[in-house]
Homo-oligomer: A and B are copies of this chain.
Amino acid sequence: MIAVHLENGAVAIRTLPVPRRPEGFALLRLLAGGICNTDLELQRGYYAFAGTPGHEFVAEVVETLTPALTGKRVSGEINLACTHCEWCRQGLGRHCPNRTVLGIVGHPGAFAEFFTLPERNLHVLPDDIPTSRAVFLEPLAAACEILDQVAIPPGAPIAVLGDGKLGLLIAMVLNDHGYRVHQFGRHAAKLAIAARVGVVTQLSTGALPIAAYDWVVDATGSPEGLRSAAAMARPRGTVILKSTVHGAVPVDTAPIIVNELTLVGSRCGRFAAALPLLRHPLVRVEDLIAARFPLAEAPQAFAHAAEQGVLKVLLE
């Protein structure tokens, strides 16, 4: 089979044997994968990664001992948890200290013709949801995680900083949940995607509003994001951190303390919470698709995904 291989900044196609299916796992055939910023960061050397990336996917179950799964179209939770530690027992396998993570930590990813995942990680996709829509389930779950972590009063105004892929999904999800979302970004064309579903958008080329929101989401992916988000929060406000910025970022903690802000780090979410959103008309994930490449052209796909202003690139 062919598989994408990342190592030392290079994206290559390798020919590998079809992986062995461990007990309790399903063998999956890739139908579509989405290139995420994390994949681009793995390429840059984050986690000292070398191997097959890919954790946003739709696949077909080709081998399993569970008849109900055979031949089904699925997506899957990316954390392979141990199932018996205290985190797993609480249903928080996403924080299992013994976990591996599909295409990120210790388990080969989905950007290959075939790959494996534990059957318990799989979610069967309804037939009427197109693959190009369902491939957004993982980042949609990450957006939903915000609502799992903090209780935002119904209809509250929320500022979302950043108009990248995750910022747009977050804005759409929060907007879909009835919040008054104000999205700030640097790209008119990207903001237009959110504006189409009713998000109030603003080009953040000038000054941002100060002490204006009780709820602010930083999805800029930039070191300045946290600083801007903290400045935009009202006293006692909450800033949700969705930007994974690597390395130390200079943060002035004085305004956080003086204004008694709450900062909440937020990562992966539950697929079960995100699955119903695939039917919601205000969650227009397809509008984020910038390009589609066959798996064998992954090097070109990664190069395109890394270009300034390009949103979601799919591998098929």
Contacts and interface: CB of A to CB of B under 8 A. Distances in A.
Contacts of A246: 252, 254
A151 interface: no
A246 B235 CA distance: 18
- Lowest 4 CB-CB distances: which A-B pairs, in order? A248-B250, A95-B235, A256-B265, A257-B265
Interface in A1-21: none
A87 B253 CA distance: 22
A97 B235 CA distance: 9
Interface string A14-54: 00000000000000000000000000000000000000000
A267 interface: yes
A149 B259 CA distance: 12
A266 B257 contact: yes
Nearest to A251: B251
Interface residues on A, range: 35 or more
Interface string A244-288: 111111111110111111111111000000000000000000000
A190 interface: no
Interface of A: 87, 92, 95, 97, 149, 211, 226, 235-236, 241-254, 256-267
Copies in the complex: 2
Contacts of A262: 262-265
Nearest to A46: B254
- Residue of A235, A242, A261, A265 with most partner-chain B CB within 10 A: A265
Given A149-B260, A259-B95, A260-B266, A253 B235 contact: no
Contacts of A242: 257
A265 B243 contact: no
Given A244-B253, A259-B265, 17 more contacts: A95-B260, A242-B257, A243-B257, A244-B254, A244-B257, A245-B253, A245-B254, A248-B251, A250-B251, A257-B265, A257-B267, A258-B267, A260-B266, A262-B262, A262-B264, A263-B263, A263-B264
A259 B266 CA distance: 8
Given A92-B236, A211-B97, A235-B95, A253 B243 contact: yes
A87 B251 CA distance: 26
Contacts of A256: 241, 263, 265
Contacts of A260: 95, 149, 264-267
B247 A252 contact: yes
Contacts of A241: 253, 256-257
Given A92-B236, A258-B265, A258-B267, A249 B250 contact: yes
A259 B97 CA distance: 10
A246 B256 CA distance: 11
Contacts of A243: 253, 257
A243 B95 CA distance: 28
A221 to B, nearest CB: 11
Contacts of A97: 211
Nearest to A97: B211
Contacts of A249: 250-253
